[in-house]
Structure 1
């Protein structure tokens, strides 16, 4: 006896691929084309403007200049899928969006509150900075945690929070290097980041409507900042007009033999990002 599946079943290995192929066939039939930079981003261009559709599993954002075409796309999606229109964008994958006449704010205040609730801190203290100055953590600092699960869970949550909080990019980069064997010292620095977030949970990124399209980029490096392998740290941020659109903190792949060499490696990393943008 053979059972032929006429549609994909949820949970099968091929189900995500089958779902994406089905969705892509529907949106390409109405005029969208997949972006060369991201296969889950679909673009439609016409004399009336440009329309963008971003897909993440079964959640999507539709935006653009052509309101009539957006209404047409929604009608086509309703004909093919069981779809719910949630209206103007306010919340997407833990990221909150607030629109004003001057621009857009993106933030993760609710995500931070949920993270603090899961962390179950025993006090209500707040701290002004996410990490102390000139701290160089080692893998041998402190006593190993009996159960590193909580540390790994919290650091993983902070990695996603750094999507809208560039101010914690550096401490999250440092703390994520010890997830394989965290110690009590590493956990204390993790709690410091959480207390910093408690006092700054309302901070937001602002994207003005009347922003120029001029790229401005800044890079920096710390020479031999890791006491274990003597590798330096690269960091950069990129602005499009007055909007911060890209940032990164990353350990360099090779040992720099001078501070000038470390700075040049950071500039090379930034140049590659600016060229791509």
Structure 2
């Protein structure tokens, strides 16, 4: 299985979709419980949702493998992103609903985890870092946009219903203040969706690691409540609902492009 696909664009914007993949190799699936084999916690359809970004000139990188194989948005050493809160790890062993992923005694050991990092995690990050370097060399500045989605209600991870649109910039560390303000202003102008900035989702490993605004890389994560573009029970993509939220996402991406070009040396 190829670890990822990378579309190389012509603008200073890279859209990363690290939880889009749903494939699980047969040898791993055989060790999992039936529900987990369906990769139920995938960021379903985000590649389709963000397909329009290519027409804007954006680069797009996405994996094939499920986050159950290895979570590309977690540090490879396994340390926690949200200490004191529930979260799934580098190689998850529980679903978002708290149920076990693996059959008893079939959980991955340290050697298995290390192998998955080599085979799946490192290639994605090498490609992501390489594309950021290419775009920065060409344009002087680049925006990394992390596209994510999740069920609107996940009691293990957060209370109540998640806001529709959740921006994360590691509390402002991964993005310049000016760009964060302009992207937030897009959300403030629209009236159709609830939103939060650096709320429960502040940006995962990719946002925090690669976002270095002082060095010319701004990184922003958007965690989108899935009910805004799909049926959360059947996983069916809903084009009419998706088109509406795509308008807001597209405006935020345009602001990012404008910001990158305005700050290019």
Shorter-chain TM range is under 0.3
Give the TM-score normalised by structure 1.
Answer: 0.24
Give the TM-score normalised by structure 2.
Answer: 0.24
Considering only CA atoms, is the larger Rg found in Structure 1 or Structure 2?
1
Greater strand content: 1
Of structures 1 and 2, the one scoring higher in RCO (CA 8 A, sep 6+) is 2
